[in-house]
Amino acid sequence: MLSLFQVANWFINARVRLWKPMIEEMYKEEFGESSEDSNSLAAGSMTGEGNTDQTED
């Protein structure tokens, strides 16, 4: 049986897995890929919220 902590953690991790690539793609489309170096730095700082990949079985 899953604990409340595990379920909450799954949703947090799903946000990182699913939303992060989607936001990065939107960011690339918005600002173009001509200055890819600056985009990768900005995207990294924009989504670098800290990883909460703690799993407890």
pLDDT at 32: 79
Give the residue carrying structure tokens 């890929």.
Answer: 33
Q: How many domains does the chain have?
A: 1
What's the pLDDT tens digit per position in 1-57?
A: 889 999 999 999 998 899 889 999 999 998 876 555 554 555 455 545 455 555 554
Phi, psi of 6 (to 5 degrees): -65, -40
pLDDT at 50: 54
Residue 44 lies in a domain: no
Residue 48 lies in a domain: no
The answer for residues whose C-beta is within 8 angstroms of residue 57's C-beta and 6 or more apart is 6
Residue 49 lies in a domain: no
Q: How far is Cα 25 from Cα 23, in angstroms, rounded to an integer?
A: 5
pLDDT at 8: 95
Residue 3 structural domain: 1-27
Give the residue carrying structure tokens 């730095």.
Answer: 41
The overall longest dimension of the chain from CA atoms, in Å, is 49
Residue 16 lies in a domain: yes
Q: How far is Cα 57 from Cα 46, in angstroms, rounded to an integer?
A: 31
